[in-house]
């Protein structure tokens, strides 16, 4: 028998055996009972329902372009659009987390709302100053970029 498979089987059996032993030891002391009080969880459901609705609307809104392209232009056009969209968003997705990781502690410690507003606008301007030239440069060399990355027939 393969040693890796033997090791995996032994670990599965060991953990299963431990689980059964724990269950046998505590079964007489505690048994789960189905207790559900709607009044106690009503507040959580209302908050959760709002969050769910908000995220569904946000997801639909952020993907409406792909839904429409796929529906009216077909799978090939959707594939091309999706690939182009991913290429364009790569610089932004790589830069923004770095800036926000640094900015969050700074903003959190700021108590003056006017300073917080100025800091946020300054950060947004800085992100734009970095992102826009990258995206404009990518647009300027897009033909060469596609040939280099995807080949002549890309």
Tens-digit pLDDT profile for residues 31-47: 667 777 777 777 778 77
Phi, psi of 134 (to 5 degrees): -60, -45
Q: Angle at Cα 111 formed by Cα 99 and Cα 100, nearest 5°?
A: 10
Residue-wise pLDDT tens digits, 101-153? 888 787 777 778 888 888 888 888 988 888 888 889 888 998 888 888 877 76
Q: 112-127 as b/e, with b when 16 or more CB fall inside 10 Å?
A: eeeeeeeeeeebeeeb
Q: Residue 153 carries which DSSP code?
A: T
Please give the distance of CA 34 from its chain centroid, rounded to a whole number: 34
Residues 6+ apart with CB under 8 A from 82: 66
């Amino acid at each position: 028998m393969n040693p890796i498979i033997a090791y995996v089987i032994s670990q599965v059996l060991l953990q299963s055996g431990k689980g059964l032993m724990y269950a046998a030891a505590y079964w007489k002391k505690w048994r789960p009972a189905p207790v559900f009080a709607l009044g106690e969880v009503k507040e959580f459901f209302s908050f959760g329902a709002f969050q769910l609705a908000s995220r569904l609307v946000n997801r639909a809104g952020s993907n409406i372009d792909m839904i429409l392209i796929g529906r009216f232009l077909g799978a090939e056009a959707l594939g091309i659009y999706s690939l182009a969209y991913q290429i364009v968003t790569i610089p932004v997705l790589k830069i923004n987390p770095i800036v926000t990781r640094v900015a969050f502690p700074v903003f959190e410690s700021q108590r003056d709302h006017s300073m917080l507003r100025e800091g946020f606008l300054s950060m947004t301007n800085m992100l734009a100053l970095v992102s826009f030239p990258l995206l404009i440069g990518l647009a300027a060399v897009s033909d060469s970029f596609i040939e280099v990355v995807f080949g002549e027939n890309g």
